[in-house]
Amino acid sequence: MGKVFNFLTFVSLSSVLISLLSSLEIGLITCILLLSLWIIYQSFQQVRLLQWLKNSYKTNPVTHGTWASIYSSINFLLRKNESQKNRLNNKLMAFKRATEAMEDGILIIDNDNQIIAITPRAEGYLGINQKQDFGSNILNHIRHPSFAEYLLSGSLNETIIVEDLSLDKKALEFKLIPFDSNQKIVLCRDVTKLRKLEIEKKDFVASASHELKTPLTVINGYLETVTEMDVSKAEKKRMLVEMTVQTKLMTNLIDDLLLFSKLEKVKPSNDAEQVNVSLMVNELSELSNKIDKNNHLIKFDIEKNIFITCCGEQLRSAFWNLINNAIIYTKKGGKITIRWLKTKEDEAVFEVRDDGPGIEAHHIDKLTDRFYRVDSARSRERGGTGLGLSIVNEIVQRHGAFLKIESQPNVGSKFIIFFPSLTTDVSKKVK
């Protein structure tokens, strides 16, 4: 304002001076001329400012005085606005990344159940496309009566599991949360694995009960016969022997079930330590010779000082299971070879080979299933629970290792455990 006042003072004074020196008319004409020039200059600057604003504030035009101050003030405001926009944008991006990282998918729907917003995770779970399906009804995408009932019942804050959704038969858990006066948040989570585990657990309990019931029924039957009927001494002895076999089977079953539950409780990393597995296999060679009592030709081939980061107790149990199976299933006089070595690829390998009866190809993939037996009657006779190989497989997987079974009927079987190079360490020698 000061500069405008100065200019107007200058125009007035120069007009008065010219009027005094020449005539009043010339003074007035000079005054009008100077004012016109000033108005033209201001209009030109205004047009330049508009142009500059339209052209997204590219380089500042060269200006002086008041106009220079106007440009620098606008620049200052623009920079402030830009940094606020950037900060807001960064916050929005961080929020978007956080919602994307969440296991839960999030949808926002309005009172008419139309989709207003959806996170990429929910898009994946429900096969919805943000752009295409924006504004569509959620019930068109989740076509399951139980979900429709849940949505319309208004039982908000409760959860519902919808199974067999989409082509890949996913199970999703939904939770509705009221949000604003006319919107709802729909949280969805993939619970397919969890449901599968629950079903497996129920099946496992049912199978375990059935397995325990079989020997109990046999024992009960014999006990009833002995108490209610006249039985010869020889017959009684036979029954007692049979009852002992069934009791042994039940004990083995309970031992294996306890081992399973122990495995589930303990994370392998909790018990992991550097173990000289070569020494452990050496101990197992002594144990197998004691148990086998020269019924088979057992040969051990053990490479010294192979260390593994593992749970020693679990690994011992897995190795012994394979050796014991070879002893049990191979006929008297058969040959069993046990090897513990390191390959060129730095893998540690435990191998049990026998020339026993072998296993037909169609059984191989199922051998590690719980309670799977090739010949149920023969396995039970020997106190077999059908859990041995599933325990071995569980332990092997917990150690990041891999169990391979090769077998041919009437030729023999080979059970091999491969430990990846990361878990082995031969640099640590025994003192």
Instruction: List Cα–Cα distances, 361 to 184, 329, 407, 414, in angstroms.
Output: 55, 17, 7, 13
Interaction between residue 424 and ligand ADP (CB under 6 A): no
The residue among 177, 147, 142, 144 whose CA lies nearest residue 160 is 147
Ramachandran angles phi, psi of 355, nearest 5°: -110, 40
Interaction between residue 373 and ligand ADP (CB under 6 A): yes
Residue of 11, 176, 318, 359 interacting with ligand ADP (CB under 6 A): 359
Size of the site for ligand ADP (CB under 6 A): 20
Residue 345 neighbours by CB distance under 10 Å = 9
Q: Which is nearer to ligand ADP, 316 or 373 (CB)?
A: 373
The stretch near ligand ADP (CB under 6 A) out of 7-15, 99-107, 167-175, 351-359 is: 351-359
128 Cβ contact partners less than 8 Å away, ≥ 6 residues apart:
107, 115, 118, 122, 141
Residue of 367, 395, 401, 417 interacting with ligand ADP (CB under 6 A): 367
- Amino acid identity for residue 300 in this structure: F
What the block records as the tokens of 387 is: 């859990």
> At its nearest, how many Å lie between ligand ADP and the CB of residue 299?
15
Pattern of binders to ligand ADP over 307-326, x per CB under 6 A? Answer: ------------------xx
Interaction between residue 413 and ligand ADP (CB under 6 A): yes
Residue of 11, 106, 118, 374 interacting with ligand ADP (CB under 6 A): 374
Q: Which is nearer to ligand ADP, 160 or 328 (CB)?
A: 328
The stretch near ligand ADP (CB under 6 A) out of 45-53, 199-207, 312-320, 378-386 is: 378-386
Interaction between residue 356 and ligand ADP (CB under 6 A): yes
Residue of 329, 340, 350, 419 interacting with ligand ADP (CB under 6 A): 329
Interaction between residue 403 and ligand ADP (CB under 6 A): no
The stretch near ligand ADP (CB under 6 A) out of 7-15, 74-82, 101-109, 354-362 is: 354-362
Which residue lies nearest ligand ADP, judged by its C-beta? 388
Pattern of binders to ligand ADP over 178-197, x per CB under 6 A? Answer: --------------------
The stretch near ligand ADP (CB under 6 A) out of 71-79, 155-163, 305-313, 356-364 is: 356-364
Interaction between residue 353 and ligand ADP (CB under 6 A): no
Interaction between residue 357 and ligand ADP (CB under 6 A): yes
> At its nearest, how many Å lie between ligand ADP and the CB of residue 276?
26
Residue of 27, 215, 334, 386 interacting with ligand ADP (CB under 6 A): 386
Interaction between residue 385 and ligand ADP (CB under 6 A): yes
Interaction between residue 288 and ligand ADP (CB under 6 A): no
The stretch near ligand ADP (CB under 6 A) out of 25-33, 69-77, 174-182, 377-385 is: 377-385
> At its nearest, how many Å lie between ligand ADP and the CB of residue 153?
48
Interaction between residue 393 and ligand ADP (CB under 6 A): no
8 Å CB contact between 348 and 340 = yes
Give the interface with ligand ADP as residue ranges (CB under 6 A): 325-326, 329, 354, 356-357, 359, 367, 372-375, 379, 384-389, 413
